[in-house]
Structure 1
């Protein structure tokens, strides 16, 4: 079994076919799938036939899957804890009407890197479409590897060794969620390098996005200007493409080699059912853990440890 690769940009993004990822893959096929991700950063599989269980099973070839957070008084949308909700529907299947949640999700339309606000970074995200809007709702991707390669030498020297503080709540504030700087300060943040060295292939990329708030050791105005400069550089037309979704499509992206953002659509009038698995960078934990749950519960003033029944 061999993969058929159709590049989207010369060095970034590919549509992949010639393999049935809804069925168990042998070791050679798994290596090919992972190798395609190392080469292209984003891989698009059309009409996969995946369901919740096979989506999760396929995702496990990339590593340990995180669990979606459990919040007090709020049920997950899916019974499978490995599935993160990236759509606009309630657990009962109605279009989301909660204005606070709609505004919170608006931050996903800014250029970002999944989970950069977590100390335990995410490596791969695997997003599967069930229902898609008639217009809009595409996903845009940016090649942060080629962008790093093309940076002026002086900029590379300037950012080498620098770190930024990343906060989910900062990106939500940028998108219009009613938070003050002081409230963002009071919530958890993660310290990340501006230049990421990929653990598989050693390639460097700009590790940046809307979660990045301030550069460590740099004045606020200067640091935020640098963050904006890097995002703008990495999202020039030669580095970006969009995926128009159809039900059954799966897109995998490497968070250590790319940024992405959601496209606009009528969130109160069009259904969008998207389900994502999220792979942790590094080895699986020795004991079960819930870092996303701890992060969100701590952010919202709930107990860090919470019984799943609550």
Structure 2
């Protein structure tokens, strides 16, 4: 890492600490930009990860997608190009050296806008690729991130400059070694674009049963092609994807609203409470009641 890059990472870490005095995820005055700070290692947290770019300035994090493990820390970034149910855990953080990260969410239309304004080669004919990856941050990308973050100190410039710098960040990601992953999700007709439509359908109807033939029709693919490309993109089958969504939502409901396991199981689409409890225990390591009591004690 060059002296300039090392200095920029240090300045970004200082800025995050300045604008996030407490642990947690902090929205900023720049739309879709979040600053993250944690002073302790966390338990695994399951959630749907929106399309986003995340760069760590201090500490380390592990993200599980299906059975795949992504580990990253300072000098690297992670990109998710579609909505994905993941489990994340901060594995290196302390009060003296907290986990500090910068997260920027984006949309398909924003990526497409950059593609339409550049001469980046398209890869529409290639097979779908995994929608999540870790890459080493290049100086050009780090410089754009640093300039966007610095706008937090001069908020009057945000309305004009922030949209331009977001486009620059997306441009450098697209120019990077895995830019094709981001590109594919925006190009209508590509396999990833069609799988993204299936993903959106499952997310919006996760509590309902579906036939795989219905999903294949949405993607305009054969059943075998759908299975292959869906797993290429998400690292899981459509049924596994739906199951993770159901169980994540069940955990959220149990923690926030209700302790009635049978009611929650029914609300997220299960007909059998025993099946729900078995699959919940398999995913989270504890039965629903034990897990929620344990988490509540940890939050007190």
Instruction: Please state which band the TM-score falls in when normalised by the shorter chain.
Output: under 0.3
TM superposition score normalised by structure 2: 0.27
Structure with the larger helix share: 2
TM-score scaled by structure 1?
0.26
Of structures 1 and 2, the one with the larger relative CO (CA 8 A, separation 6+) is 1
Return the index of the structure with the highest Cα Rg. 2
